[in-house]
C-alpha cells in the first residue's frame, strides 16, 4: 500500500457560522450519504450558530458509527451554499490539484470504508468515531489524470442509472394512466375502437357507482388467495433462498442483489416460494400497505412474516391487480383501517376487504395486451440498473487497488 496516504494530509476542517442569518437553506444528512432538505422544527432555534457548508465541501457525522454500521458523509453539489447542524463536522479538500472532491466521495461510498470506520469507532454502545482516528485513515491517491478517469467512468454509469430511472418513472405513469382510462374512467376501446363510456357504452348501477354492463364489483378477496410469510430463524449471507422483507419492497424496485438469504428447509421452501405474478403487501410498520408485484426476473425467494402474499385466482388478473394495489387509493385504504398506535398493523382480512371492480375476461385480456409490453420494458430497465450498480461497486473496488 505504498501509494496510500493519510486522509488528514489532504483535508481540513471548516467552521463558518451563519452570522447575520445570510443563508437559510437548511440541510440534513442521511445515513445513505446524501443531503436532504431538513424537516426539523427550528422555531426558537438560534440559526446563527448553524454551520455554513459550500459547494464541494463535505459534512459528516462521527456519532453512532458502530451502531449504524455506516459513517454518514456527503459532498455538497446541488447548492452553492447551505446551512447544516453544528453537530456535523464540515471539511474540504486542501488542494484540488492533488485530490479531487468527487474522487474522495467515491472513496467514502465504499462499503469497505464504512467497515474500517466501524472498526475504529469507540465510545461504548453508540460507537462514535474520534476525529483524529478519521484523519488517520488512509486512501490511495493516484495522479490527477487517473482520478479524473475514474470519476468519468463512475459518473457515466450513474448517469445511465439516472436516465433509466426517469424512463421507468415515465413507463410506470403510462401504465397507471392506461389503468385509470380503462378501470376508473371506463374509456377502454369499444368494439369499434372508440372510448367506451363517452361513446354511449352501456353502464349499470353498482355499489361502487356506474360500471360497464357485464362487469361486476366485489372484494379483493373474491379474486385472490392470501398467505402469511415465513418467520426466518437465521438470515445468512450465502445460504438458502432469498428472503424478501418489508424493507426490500419499500422503495420502488426490489433490488434482488441486496435481498438477504435465509436458512429454510426444502419442505417449507416450497410452501413459501414466491411466483411471478404474486403480489406482496407490507402488513406492519411505517410502510404498511406498500405493495409490489413479483416480476418474471426474480430469484428463488421466500417472503417474511411481515408480508402477506396475494395470489390471483386467475393468472391473467396479475397485471390488473398489481396496478390496483400499487395505487394511492389502496394504500390510503390500508392506512385508514390499520390498527395500533405504536406501529400500524394490517391483516390479510383487512387487505382483501378492499372493494374492486371485476372486469370481464375480454377486457382484461385486451388490457394485458396493452400493458404487458410496458411492464416488461420496466423490468428490463430495472435489471439493467441492477447490473450497472454492480459495475459501480466494481469501479469503487478498483480504487482500493490504487490504480496508477
State whether 375 and 242 are in the same domain: no
Q: Are residues 132 and 28 in the same domain?
A: yes
Residues 346 and 221 in one domain: yes
pLDDT digits (tens, 9 = 90+) for 22-53: 999 999 999 889 999 886 767 777 889 999 99
Same-domain status, 332 and 380: no
Name the residue with cell 416480476. Answer: 295
Q: Considering the domain boundaries, does residue 256 fall inside one? A: yes
281 or 238, which is more confident: 281
Shared domain for 227 and 126, answered yes or no, is no
pLDDT digits (tens, 9 = 90+) for 296-352: 878 889 999 999 999 999 999 999 999 999 888 899 999 888 888 678 899 999 999
pLDDT tens readout for residues 71-109: 999 999 999 999 999 999 999 999 999 999 999 999 999
Name the domain count of the chain. 3
| Residue 32 domain-assigned (yes or no) | yes
Residue ending a domain, choose from 126, 141, 156? 141
pLDDT tier, 403 (very low <50, low <70, confident <90, very high otherwise): very low
- Whether 210 is covered by a domain: the verdict is no
Residue 317 lies in a domain: yes
211 lies in a domain?
A: no
CATH, residue 242: 3.90.220.20
> Averaged over 149-160, what is the pLDDT?
94
Pick from 292, 288, 289: which is nearest to 274 by CA?
292
Q: How far is CA 76 from the centre of its chain?
A: 21
pLDDT recorded at residue 353? 95
Name the least confident of 154-168, 244-258, 358-372: 244-258
Asked whether residue 111 carries a pLDDT value surpassing 60, the answer given is yes
355-358 and 216-219 beta bridge pairing? antiparallel
Per-residue model confidence (pLDDT) at position 262: 86
148 with 261, same domain? Answer: no
Sheet holding 58-60, edge to edge: 11-14, 90-93, 58-60, 73-75
Asked if the structure places residue 208 within a domain, the reply is: no
- Same domain for 11 and 110? yes
| Within-domain flag for 327 | yes
Query: Structural domain of residue 242, as residue ranges?
Result: 216-358
Same domain, 274 and 388: no
Same domain, 221 and 128: no
Q: Are residues 393 and 316 in the same domain?
A: no
Mean pLDDT, the chain, integer: 90
Predicted confidence (pLDDT) at residue 2 exceeds the cutoff of 60:
no
Residue 78 shares a structural domain with residue 8: yes
**CA–CA gap between residue 291 and residue 310 (Å, rounded):** 10
What is the pLDDT at residue 404?
43
Q: Is residue 204 part of a domain?
A: no
Amino acid at each position: 500500500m505504498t501509494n496510500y496516504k493519510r486522509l488528514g494530509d489532504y483535508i481540513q476542517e471548516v467552521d463558518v457560522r451563519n452570522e447575520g442569518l445570510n443563508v437559510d437553506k437548511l440541510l440534513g444528512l442521511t445515513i445513505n450519504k446524501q443531503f436532504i432538505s431538513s424537516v426539523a422544527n427550528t422555531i426558537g432555534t438560534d440559526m446563527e450558530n448553524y454551520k455554513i457548508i459550500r459547494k464541494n465541501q463535505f459534512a459528516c457525522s462521527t456519532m453512532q458509527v458502530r451502531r449504524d454500521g455506516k459513517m454518514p458523509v456527503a459532498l455538497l453539489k446541488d447548492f452553492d451554499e447551505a446551512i447544516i447542524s453544528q453537530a456535523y463536522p464540515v471539511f474540504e479538500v486542501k488542494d484540488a490539484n492533488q485530490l479531487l472532491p468527487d474522487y474522495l466521495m467515491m472513496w467514502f461510498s465504499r462499503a469497505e470504508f464504512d467497515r474500517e470506520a466501524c472498526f475504529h469507532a469507540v465510545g461504548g454502545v453508540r460507537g462514535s468515531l474520534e476525529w483524529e482516528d478519521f484523519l488517520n485513515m488512509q486512501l490511495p491517491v493516484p495522479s490527477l489524470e487517473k482520478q479524473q478517469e475514474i470519476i468519468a467512468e463512475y459518473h457515466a454509469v450513474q448517469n445511465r442509472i439516472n436516465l433509466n430511472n426517469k424512463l421507468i418513472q415515465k413507463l410506470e405513469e403510462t401504465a397507471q394512466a392506461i389503468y385509470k382510462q380503462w378501470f376508473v374512467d371506463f374509456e377502454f376501446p369499444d368494439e369499434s375502437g372508440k372510448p367506451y363510456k363517452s361513446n354511449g357504452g352501456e353502464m349499470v348501477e353498482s355499489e361502487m357507482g356506474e360500471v360497464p354492463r357485464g362487469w361486476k364489483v366485489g372484494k379483493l378477496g373474491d379474486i385472490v388467495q392470501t398467505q402469511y410469510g415465513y418467520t426466518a430463524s437465521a438470515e445468512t449471507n450465502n445460504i438458502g433462498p432469498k428472503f424478501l422483507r418489508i424493507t426490500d419492497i419499500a422503495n420502488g424496485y426490489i433490488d434482488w442483489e441486496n435481498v438477504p438469504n435465509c436458512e429454510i428447509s426444502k419442505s417449507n421452501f416450497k410452501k413459501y416460494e414466491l411466483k411471478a405474478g404474486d403480489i406482496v403487501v407490507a402488513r406492519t410498520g411505517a410502510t404498511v400497505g406498500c405493495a409490489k408485484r413479483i416480476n418474471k426476473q426474480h430469484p428463488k425467494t421466500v417472503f417474511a412474516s411481515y408480508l402477506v402474499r396475494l395470489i390471483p385466482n386467475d393468472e391473467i388478473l396479475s397485471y390488473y391487480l398489481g396496478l390496483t394495489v400499487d395505487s394511492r387509493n389502496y394504500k390510503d385504504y390500508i392506512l385508514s383501517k390499520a390498527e395500533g398506535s405504536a406501529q400500524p398493523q394490517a391483516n390479510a382480512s383487512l387487505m382483501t376487504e378492499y372493494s374492486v371492480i371485476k372486469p370481464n375476461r375480454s377486457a382484461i385480456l385486451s388490457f394485458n395486451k396493452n400493458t404487458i409490453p410496458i411492464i416488461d420494458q420496466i423490468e428490463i430497465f430495472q435489471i439493467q440498473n441492477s447490473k450497472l450498480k454492480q459495475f459501480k461497486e466494481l469501479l469503487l473496488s478498483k480504487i482500493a487497488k490504487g490504480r496508477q
